[in-house]
Amino acid sequence: MLTVDFDLLAVQEGDTALDAGCGLGRHSFEFVARGANVFSMDMDMDCVRRTRFTLVHMRDSGQSKPGARFQVLVGDALNLPFRNNTFDRIICSEVMEHVSDDNKACSELARVLKPGGLIAITVPTYISELLYDTLTYEYFTSPGGHVRKYVPRALAHIMEQNGLKIYAIDFRHSFHTIYWLIRCVVGLHLENQFFTRHYRNFLTRVLFSPFMQKVERFFDNFFPKSIILYAQKP
């Protein structure tokens, strides 16, 4: 399940890419499948290990393009362990709402992006976050959870302050808006509750149905879970 459109980000074979806050590696997998060299970084050691396991499997089974390389590491978005102007492409997906200083995080991402490089930053939409916060106190009080809500203009302003020029905006994951709505109603801690479990199975089937993906893209216009801002470093 990709949040970022890799064609809109213009990912090319041979690019050096950073997946900042890679989670379980979904965007990293697409980078190597397209022949880019990716650095997959996260603060969670379990995520780092699981991402590396899948990347190794992709390499050994021929699912990544020949020559595509990867490095998986633990790192902090507020203090990226890379030199200035290192990356052609950067993805920072669903991270900024977690960090203590989002302006500092954006400054670090802009610092390591090459001049002319492209970046995609994704965050949850304001309306979906407001809805979940209204439904349950757990959503914004869970350890490691979200610490702020974003209106698009606020995130765009932070990016522009750090020298990034926005060239596209997109919205994704309307079906996941419903999933988290269910989670909030039944209790965030009840991941295997009946309705949660069956709706999660539905989301898995959507991944393998081109028709249902088109249906979801239609509803992305009305109640998306994520907003994606694409920008270039001049």
Question: Rounded to the nearest 10 degrees, how much is the dihedral formed by the CA atoms of 177, 183, 186, 191?
Answer: 150
pTM of the model: 0.95
Digit-coded pLDDT (tens) for 188-231: 888 888 999 999 999 999 999 999 999 999 999 999 999 999 99
Cβ neighbours of residue 16 under 8 Å, at least 6 residues apart?
36, 37, 39, 86, 87, 88, 89
- The total of other beta-carbon atoms located within 10 Å of residue 221's CB is 9
Which structural domains are found in the chain, ordered by start? 16-125+144-174+224-232 (3.40.50.150)
**Residue 5 in tokens:** 């459109």
DSSP annotation string for 93-147: ES-TTTSS-HHHHHHHHHHHEEEEEEEEEEEE-HHHHHHHHHH-TTTTTSTT---
pLDDT score for 232: 98
Cβ neighbours of residue 84 under 8 Å, at least 6 residues apart?
111, 112
C-beta of residue 25 within 8 angstroms of C-beta of residue 55: yes
Cα torsion angle, 148, 151, 152, 158, sign: negative
Digit-coded pLDDT (tens) for 40-69: 999 999 999 999 999 999 999 999 999 999
Q: Are strands 165-172 and 226-232 parallel, antiparallel or unpaired?
A: antiparallel
Instruction: State what percent of residues in the chain have pLDDT above 70.
Output: 100
